[in-house]
Copies of this chain bind each other. A is one copy, B any other.
Amino acid sequence: MKSGGRPTRDDVAEYAQISGATVSRVLSGRTDLSISPETRAKVMEAVEKLGYRPNLSARALMTGKTGLVGLWMCLGYSRYRSQVLDQMRNVLASTDLTLAVTDVDEDYSVHHSFSRALRVPVDGIIAFDTSASGETFARNHDLLAPMTPFVSMGAYWSEAKSYVGVDLRAGADEAMAHLLSTGRKRIAYLAPSNSDTISSGARHDGYVAAMRAAGLPTQIVGVKTLSPDDMRRALTECGPMPEALLCMSDDVALCASFVLGQLGKQVGRDVALVGFDGIQETEMAPCPITTVEQPVADMCRLTWQFLQAQIEFPNTGLQQKVLKPKLVIRDSSRS
C-alpha cells in the first residue's frame, strides 16, 4: 500500500489477493453481476480493514456523472430563501441525487459568483432568485457552463433558458389593486436601498404603474438594512407617514410592522402593510400581514421536473413556465 495517503482500490485488491476489477465489481453494488460469496467477503474485509472509500472524482471522471444537483442561491439571511431550501430538500429527498447548495451573492460580481459556484461539479444547476438580471445570468451561464443542464427558478429569468418563473408583476398588480380599493392614496413602496428591487423589477414596476394609473404620486422609501434602527430612520425621515406600504418582501414588512408599533402607529388602521413571499411568520405578526404568496412547493417540484428531464435527455428543448403568486389578504390591509 502507498505509504501516506488514502488507500485506493488497488490497495484493497492487493490486501484481498484479488484483482482491482473485482473490487470494483463488488463495490458497484450491481445485481446483474455475479460474484462468489467468498470473494465478496474478502473484499469487504479488506475494505473495512483499510478504511477504503472510493475516490469520487475518479468515479465521476469515468462515469461522467457526479450525482449532484447544484442549487445556486444567495445564502444571506432571508426567511423566504430558507423556506425554499427546505422545500427543495424535500423534493430531492426521494431522488438518488444529492443537493449541493452554493452561495451566489449579488454583492460580488456575477462573474465572480459564477466561477465560484461552478467549482462544484454537478450534473445540473438550479439558479434560484439570482437577482442579477436574467439576461446577464443567461450570458454568464453560456460562458461558463454551456453544456450543463440548467433551470432558473423564481423571480428572474431569461427567455433563452429554461425556467420556472413567478409572475411577481401580476402579484404586485393585484396587491396594488387591493390597496387602492381600500381607498388609501398615500401609498409608498418600501425596499432595501442596496438592492436592485428598489428601483426596478416587477414589484417596483407594478407599484409605479398602479400609482400612475390612479393619478397618484409615487414614493419610494429605501431602508439600509433590516434592523429596527434603520427601519425607524427610513420610516420617520421619509416625510409624513404613508397610509400604506407595499413592502418588497415579508421580511421587510415584518420589520416595518415592529417599528410602526414602536412609533405608536397601529398596523392595519393607521398604516396598511402588504408584503411579498408568503412566509409563515406573516400570519403570526401582532397584526397578521397581507402578503403575495409565492407558490414555493409547485415551483420547486416543477423546477426539478424540468431539470430531471434535461439530465436524462440531453436533447430536451427549452422548458418554460410562469407561475402565479396568490394574494392573501389579512388584517394589515383589510379595512
Contacts and interface: CB of A to CB of B under 8 A. Distances in A.
Interface stretch (A59-67, A151-159, A235-243): A59-67
A86 B76 contact: yes
Given A98-B119, A101-B101, A77 B83 contact: yes
Contacts of A255: 284
Interface stretch (A142-150, A169-177, A196-204, A300-308): A142-150
Contacts of A76: 86, 89
A82 interface: yes
Nearest to A257: B284
A14 interface: no
Contacts of A160: none
Interface in A263-291: 280-281, 283-284, 286
A78 interface: yes
B121 A57 contact: yes
Contact of A121 (B56, B142, B146): B56
Contacts of A100: 100-102, 120
Total copies of this chain within the assembly: 2
B98 A68 contact: no
Contact of A77 (B86, B121, B228): B86
Contacts of A89: 75-76, 103, 105
A201 to B, nearest CB: 22
A102 B286 CA distance: 35
A53 interface: yes
Contacts of A213: none
A11 B157 CA distance: 32
A102 B102 contact: no
A79 interface: yes
B228 A147 contact: no
Contact of A284 (B98, B118, B120, B228): B228
Nearest to A57: B60
A78 B68 CA distance: 24
A118 B228 CA distance: 41
A228 B255 CA distance: 20
Report the 9 A-B pairs with minimum CB-CB distance, sorted nearest first.
Answer: A101-B101, A57-B60, A56-B121, A258-B284, A82-B82, A75-B89, A57-B61, A77-B86, A98-B119
Given A53-B147, A75-B101, 9 more contacts: A55-B61, A56-B121, A57-B61, A67-B119, A92-B103, A98-B117, A100-B101, A121-B121, A255-B284
20 contacts: A5-B147, A56-B57, A56-B119, A56-B121, A58-B61, A67-B119, A75-B86, A75-B88, A75-B89, A77-B83, A79-B79, A81-B82, A98-B103, A98-B120, A100-B100, A101-B101, A227-B280, A254-B281, A254-B284, A258-B284
